[in-house]
Amino acid sequence: MGYRSGAAVAATVGLLAAVLGGCSDDGGSSGSASSEPSATTSAAASGTVTTASSPLGTILVDGDGRTLYLWEADTASESTCDGDCAKAWPPVTVTGKPLAGKGVKAALLGTTTRDDGRKEITYNGHPLYRYAGDTNAGDTNGQGSNGFGAAWYVLDTAGDKITKSPPPASPSSPGNGGY
């Protein structure tokens, strides 16, 4: 994982604190929209998976341009990210059938049923997640992370993980504290 600026780290820590502090364990309830991270609710409405160009290549994103990830701890198409994991890495859920956007192979889209009954979108058999530390469309701050016991990677259009690291921020970039 590459080095991040002090401001970027502070922003990520603050966001994660807000997500983890603002979410409660619903103790197995059906999961109302008000108790889920906001990143999950917009996916349930649209369920679109599309592509975007990034420094990592062409990657999968949701309908809002938020980067999608796979988790190496998942086997087959079953999601194993629950509890605190799902708060930091919200699953991409849908209420109907997922939609294939530009560059996405519809035949590779599917769903898996999570333990709470929600349908999580899969691509090429991988359950899809967002990262709470990605605050803007196109962010790939979760790339190569090793959280909750396994690595997280963005996906290419074939549904394979991309393992390269994003380029480091430029020292002259605004907002990086001069690092």
Asked if residue 55 belongs to a domain, the reply is yes
> 52 with 65: CB under 8 angstroms?
yes
* 59 strand-pairing partners: 52
Q: Is the pTM of this model over 0.75?
A: no
Per-residue pLDDT tens over the stretch 27-65 = 333 333 333 333 443 444 479 999 999 999 999 999 999
Distance CA 16, CA 85 (A): 11
Q: How far is residue 56's CA from residue 2's CA, in Å, rounded to a whole number? A: 13
In sequence order, which residues have a C-beta less than 8 Å from that of residue 136 and are 6 or more positions away?
A: none
> Do 132 and 39 form a contact (C-beta atoms < 8 A)?
yes
Number of domains, the chain: 1
pLDDT tens for 146-164 read 999 999 999 999 999 999 9
| Residue 100 CA from chain centroid, whole number | 17
> Where does residue 154 rank: exposed (0-12), middle (13-18), buried (19+ CB within 10 A)?
buried
In a domain, 108, yes or no: yes
Residue type, 130: R
Q: What is the residue range of 21's domain? A: 6-26+34-154
What are the pLDDT digits (tens) for 95-130?
Answer: 999 999 999 999 999 999 999 999 999 999 999 999
Asked whether residue 66 is domain-assigned, the answer is yes
| Structural domain contains residue 68 | yes
